[in-house]
Each structure stands twice: as structure tokens, then as C-alpha cells.
Amino acid sequence: MAGHSKWANIQHRKKAQDNKRGKVFTKVIREITVATKLGGSDISSNSRLRLAISKANASNVPKDTVERAIKKAIGSKDENIEEIIYEGYGPNGIAVIMECLTNNKNRTVSELRHVLSKYGGSLGTKGSVVHLFKKVGIIKVLNMSEDELISHMESIDLMDFEIIEDGCILFTNPNQLFEIKKYLEEKSITVENEEIAMDPITLLDIDDTQQEKINNLSDKLEEIEDVQNIYMNVNLG
């Protein structure tokens, strides 16, 4: 495959999240709460909740914590959490998408604007950068070679793939993510994790000085409790 590694950039973002495990727990539980409120507690019909639980498992969130969050979401109507996607610009005009869950939009906007401006960026208007990304499903498969993957190509429809040291990364249409995962598991193929993400259509190259600044920006945005996911169109691998 030509070009930059999408997986290297995804890993970079995941590493930043994993370094703040306490906040990861909070964000995962919030996602489970919103997914349950929006689609109910039945994971067979609520793909968003199924994905949130999968993320919770990957983050080692205790099972009883997940179950309590679902029960609380079913019975609670008090907290009005909104899902909002904010768009903006970072250093050197890079595009930034920030997926947020918030019960106070004014607070969230203020915190995002403060961090972005501190690192030479700004908050954008709706639609300003989202066209530079596409939504994709991502599945990490362990212990599979390229030849083995190709042998399954007639049965699964992939947008793209990457071969990595311990397996391969599959990029799918988001609507087909769980269908493909189910197919792989039925073939006794080990799926380590899956997610839906915003994938940059093109990646911008940056030098070491710029990368440090963008890394710091990413870290500070991650520290904002309302921020669930951050996507940038730069090569961070």
C-alpha cells in the first residue's frame, strides 16, 4: 500500500488516550450512557452501544461498572447530554475534528476555544473541515497474513487494509463493521478490537518542531472531559 500508515496515526491517538486511563473510563461510560439513552439496552439492535461496550472491554473497564452505567441510563432522565461535533484548526492550519458529549455547550466551546488558541489554532464553523475526513469502520485482526486476508476478500467488502507486524487492519464501511466482524469470528479469526473513526482523506507532513506542538495540542484536548475523540489530518506516525 502506498502513502502513510493510517494505523500509525490511529495508534498515536489511542496512546494519548490510554495515558489518561481514568479519563478514558469516564469517557467510555459517558458514551455507554448516551448510546443506551438513544437506542436502548439491547446490543443486538443498538450497534452504538455494542461498539461502546467493545471499547469498554478494550479499556479494561470492569463489567459491573458497564452494567451499572446501562441500568442508570435506562432509569435516568435527569442529565441531558448532547452529542456535538466541533470543527477547528490547529497549528499551521491543520484540520481538527472534536467529537464531544456535553451537558453544557457553553463550557465545552469555551474550553475548546481556549486550548486551540493557546496552540495557534481556532474553532471553526460547522462544515469547515469535516469534508476533509470520511467515516470508516476499523477492525484489528491478529495473526493474519496478506495471503490469508486475500482468501476472504470475496466474502467481505473492504474499503482498504494494512498489514502490520502482528496481523492486519481492515477499513470498512461503518454500516458493515459488525457484519464483517461476525464473519471473521465465525471463521475463528481473532478480532482484537473495532471502532468507527473519522479518517483523513489526505495527511499533511509536518516537521519535528510542528509535531511536538501538535502532540501537546492533542494532549490538552484529550484532557477536556467532554471530548470523546479527536481527529487531525496530519501524519503523526
pLDDT in tens, 32-54: 999 998 889 998 889 899 999 98
Q: Which residues of 100-109 are buried (b: 16+ CB within 10 A; e: fewer)?
A: bbbeeeeebb
pLDDT of residue 2: 37
The pLDDT of residue 25 is 83
What is the chain's Cα-based Rg? 18
Tell me if the pTM is above 0.85. Answer: no
**Pairing, β 158-164 against β 167-172:** antiparallel
Tens-place pLDDT, residues 112-156:
999 999 999 999 999 999 999 999 999 999 999 999 999 999 999
Mean pLDDT by 10 residues, the chain (237 residues): 58 55 78 90 91 88 91 75 93 94 94 96 96 94 92 93 90 94 93 89 88 90 91 84
